[in-house]
Chains A and B, each alone.
Chain A
Amino acid sequence: MAFNYDHYMRPGKLPHIWCPGCAHGIVMKAIIRAIDKVGLEKDRTVIVSGIGCASRMPGYVDFNTLHTTHGRSLAFATGVKMADPTLNVICVAGDGDALAIGGNHFIHACRRNIDITMVVFNNNIYGMTGGQFSPTTPHGRFASTTPYGNPDYAFDVVELSMGAGATYVSRGTVYHAVPLEKQVADGITHPGFSVIDALCTCPTTYGRRNKLGSATDMILWFKDNTVGIKAAEKLSPEEREGKILTGVFREVIKPEYCQEYQKIIEMAQGK
């Protein structure tokens, strides 16, 4: 039986603002299915976002939702989680929001290992403002502010998250919607800071400028150009060349921030 999203959607809030062909809806649906799978209560779940296309997602879904300032979702979410650690807190952010203006909050949330799940809708571009290059736009690619090709080098979200100390780190794509859903579900149940690098597509402001074909072509590109980290082990260096690795890169248990703070409360109260 097909999954019924209605229970989690706010009536009357669609259509969404995303362009035709945008893959953000695939990530949103994966998040909803993951929430359903894990069994989170709507009343006890908070979804936080910053600014940008991805950050409009909380408006469509029926939870406690907080659409904040550009890049700051994790900082707001940290206050929410610390104030009531029993709440389930999920952040959604675009690549520019999460890693440029929000880069400092991102690495420190990783470092703290606070039990928040961060889903990065990574489409390599600032879509809402019309296609400026972002921290994940590959070197040489075209954007409205890189008319001669991007001189910057991109962040690898997975390596950045692991380097900063996140305890669950994965990468999925909108072509692989089922594994993506599982990663989000595992990120939610993981007791610590989780990052899901959700590779998605922006045909309107990124694909067109870089001649990446139709919206479908862009999604299919992930099929041919990604490889799971386990499968990659069996490939020769030549076969792996140019492939993006997907899967779960880290899943380790480390003391979680709010639990550590609870110990401080008990110590301070002489218990």
Chain B
Amino acid sequence: MSGKEVFYQGNEACAEGALYAGCRFFGGYPITPSTEVAEFLSHRLPKAGGAFIQMEDEIAAMASIIGASLVGKKSLTATSGPGMSLKLENLGFACLTEIPCVIVNVMRGGPSTGLPTGPGQSDVMQAKWGTHGDHPAIALAPASVQEIFNETVRAFNISERLRTPVILLTDEIIGHMREKIIIPEEGELEIWDRPRPDCPPEKYLPYDTSKGIVPPMADFGSGYRWHVTGLNHDASGFPTNKPSLVQPEEERLLAKVTENIDIIEKYEYFKKDGARVGVVAYGSSARSAKAAVRQAHEEGVPVDFLRPVTLWPYPVKPTVEMAEKVDVIVVPEMNLGQMIDEVQRCIEGRAKVVGVNRVDGDPITPENILEKIREVV
């Protein structure tokens, strides 16, 4: 990859990635440890002709990005646990109305105010199930500063193409860690835009799926007058409670994800001959896991290592492949056991699954994971 080398913290890389992806609106609210995303964009968005606004609360910040997206601007907000809880209301609105936007959650420790300056990974199930009702969930979990940049771009791309919100899950460690990254030249990374209508305005049906599962979306103000509502709606966008229309609508929202796994799913699977132990880890815990796996190899213990980059939808296939090969899967995460449930669910008893869990505000160390590997071998 060619481009400009910079020494960035993860939150800055996220903001830079958003600009690269074409983000021109940010609505936010200050919260540790995500605030640098807002600070960076308050400086850079006006330079790019975009707009930054600090709203009165997290709910409003989420609402503002949906409003801006409806006018055709790629939009971002960033927050952490307590703020994420508040954003969930309007996140569901964006899911049902199919308005693209990207939400960054720089995860910190604990429920409630918890550990504002400490890392955590305890919002991973919230990312999947947080807002009420059945809804599509896409969450990406990068593990390095460069990857935060690239996955932010991918988050926008997926959000635009599928017309659905995408959550970028980072954490306090990689959000604040500085690494050298390369900002690719313009055009080097592919940028996708939402599908827009090409029919005459009077023929426009905002939720007409006759030509594909993702209906074209018209910008407000572009001559296509349409109605957006958080009520279940028909192809014309107006409310309906007809069972024959509501069920297919809700199923289609989920199918947008399941039928587009190829553009959403991303993982790294490092296999080692003769491995009887596997490790599944994501985000900053994956960095410790990688070091632990390498150390195990040096000690003569072969270990398979799977790192989901896309956390939701969860990569089932490589996990099943690992479970069919190994006896035990170790799942380190900075929570008291969340993704471990998903691993267990998809391997259906093919292997034993054990967790390595810390919620004390310190990162999981390679030694923590190595100890568990030695124990289960």
A265 touches B93 (CB 8 A): no
Q: Is the interface of B mostly helix, strand, loop or mixed?
A: mixed
A108 touches B73 (CB 8 A): no
Known contacts A72-B59, A72-B90, A105-B60; decide if A46 and B221 are in contact (CB<8 Å): yes
B-facing mask of A246-271, CB < 8 A → 1, else 0? 00000000000000010011011100
B228 touches A69 (CB 8 A): no
B53 touches A80 (CB 8 A): no
Q: How far is the CB of A263 from chain B (nearest CB, A)?
A: 10
Q: CB within 8 A of B71: which of A42, A80, A265?
A: A80
State in angstroms the CA–CA spacing of A203 and B64 once bound together.
Answer: 35
Chain B residue numbers with a CB within 8 Å of A204 are none
Q: Which residue of chain B lies nearest to A51 when distances are taken between CB atoms in the complex?
A: B230
Interface centre among A48, A69, A261 (most CB of B within 10 A): A69
A64 touches B226 (CB 8 A): yes
State in angstroms the CA–CA spacing of A46 and B66 once bound together.
Answer: 14
The answer to the question of A136 belonging to the interface, with a C-beta cut-off of 8 Å to chain B, is no
Chain B residue numbers with a CB within 8 Å of A87 are 71, 220-221
The answer to the question of A26 belonging to the interface, with a C-beta cut-off of 8 Å to chain B, is no
B221 touches A65 (CB 8 A): no
Known contacts A66-B67, A78-B60, A108-B56; decide if A59 and B238 are in contact (CB<8 Å): yes
The answer to the question of A238 belonging to the interface, with a C-beta cut-off of 8 Å to chain B, is no
B-facing mask of A199-215, CB < 8 A → 1, else 0? 00000000000000000
Q: CB within 8 A of A82: which of B53, B228, B230, B231?
A: B53
Q: How far is the CB of A220 from chain B (nearest CB, A)?
A: 34
Chain A residue numbers with a CB within 8 Å of B220 are 46, 64, 66, 80, 84, 87
Interface centre among A13, A42, A84, A87 (most CB of B within 10 A): A84
Q: How far is the CB of B68 from chain A (nearest CB, A)?
A: 4
Q: How far is the CB of B51 from chain A (nearest CB, A)?
A: 5
Q: Is the interface of A mostly helix, strand, loop or mixed?
A: helix
Q: Which residue of chain B lies nearest to A43 when distances are taken between CB atoms in the complex?
A: B223
State in angstroms the CA–CA spacing of A96 and B157 once bound together.
Answer: 38
State in angstroms the CA–CA spacing of A72 and B51 once bound together.
Answer: 20
For chain A, residues 69 to 116, give those with C-beta under 8 angstroms from any C-beta of chain B. 69, 72, 75-84, 86-87, 104-105, 107-108
* Number of A residues, CB within 8 Å of B: 40
The answer to the question of A189 belonging to the interface, with a C-beta cut-off of 8 Å to chain B, is no
Q: How far is the CB of A269 from chain B (nearest CB, A)?
A: 6
State in angstroms the CA–CA spacing of A75 and B54 once bound together.
Answer: 11
Q: Which residue of chain A lies nearest to B219 when distances are taken between CB atoms in the complex?
A: A84
Q: How far is the CB of A52 from chain B (nearest CB, A)?
A: 13
The answer to the question of A68 belonging to the interface, with a C-beta cut-off of 8 Å to chain B, is yes
Known contacts A59-B227, A59-B229, A69-B90; decide if A83 and B60 are in contact (CB<8 Å): no
Chain B residue numbers with a CB within 8 Å of A83 are 24-25, 51, 67-73, 75
State in angstroms the CA–CA spacing of A229 and B199 once bound together.
Answer: 52
Chain B residue numbers with a CB within 8 Å of A44 are 221
Chain A residue numbers with a CB within 8 Å of B203 are none
Chain B residue numbers with a CB within 8 Å of A42 are 225
Chain B residue numbers with a CB within 8 Å of A264 are 46
B70 touches A80 (CB 8 A): yes
Interface centre among B27, B67, B73 (most CB of A within 10 A): B67
State in angstroms the CA–CA spacing of A67 and B230 once bound together.
Answer: 7
The answer to the question of B337 belonging to the interface, with a C-beta cut-off of 8 Å to chain A, is no
Q: How far is the CB of A246 from chain B (nearest CB, A)?
A: 29
Interface size class of B (residues with CB under 8 A): 35 or more
B227 touches A75 (CB 8 A): no
Chain B residue numbers with a CB within 8 Å of A172 are none
A65 touches B66 (CB 8 A): no
A76 touches B221 (CB 8 A): no
The answer to the question of B234 belonging to the interface, with a C-beta cut-off of 8 Å to chain A, is no
Q: CB within 8 A of B228: which of A10, A66, A265?
A: A66
B46 touches A68 (CB 8 A): no
For chain A, residues 106 to 150, give those with C-beta under 8 angstroms from any C-beta of chain B. 107-108
Interface centre among B63, B229, B231 (most CB of A within 10 A): B63
The answer to the question of B208 belonging to the interface, with a C-beta cut-off of 8 Å to chain A, is no
Q: Which residue of chain A lies nearest to B71 when distances are taken between CB atoms in the complex?
A: A83
Chain A residue numbers with a CB within 8 Å of B70 are 66, 79-80, 83
State in angstroms the CA–CA spacing of A268 and B49 once bound together.
Answer: 9
The answer to the question of B184 belonging to the interface, with a C-beta cut-off of 8 Å to chain A, is no
Chain B residue numbers with a CB within 8 Å of A268 are 43, 46-47
State in angstroms the CA–CA spacing of A78 and B64 once bound together.
Answer: 6
B227 touches A65 (CB 8 A): yes
Known contacts A13-B238, A83-B68, A268-B47; decide if A62 and B225 are in contact (CB<8 Å): yes
State in angstroms the CA–CA spacing of A63 and B227 once bound together.
Answer: 8
B57 touches A80 (CB 8 A): no
B51 touches A261 (CB 8 A): yes
Q: Beyond the given A72-B59, A79-B71, could you list 20 further A-B residue pairs with CB under 8 A, ordered by the A residue number?
A: A13-B238, A59-B239, A64-B220, A64-B225, A67-B231, A68-B63, A72-B63, A76-B63, A76-B66, A79-B53, A79-B66, A82-B51, A82-B68, A83-B67, A83-B70, A107-B56, A261-B51, A261-B53, A265-B46, A269-B46
* 22 intermolecular pairs with C-beta atoms under 8 Å apart: A58-B227, A64-B221, A64-B226, A66-B70, A68-B228, A72-B60, A75-B59, A75-B60, A75-B64, A76-B64, A77-B67, A78-B64, A79-B27, A79-B70, A80-B71, A81-B67, A84-B71, A104-B56, A108-B60, A267-B46, A268-B43, A269-B46
Interfacial residues, chain A to chain B (CB-CB below 8 A): 10, 13, 42-44, 46, 48, 58-59, 62-69, 72, 75-84, 86-87, 104-105, 107-108, 261, 264-265, 267-269
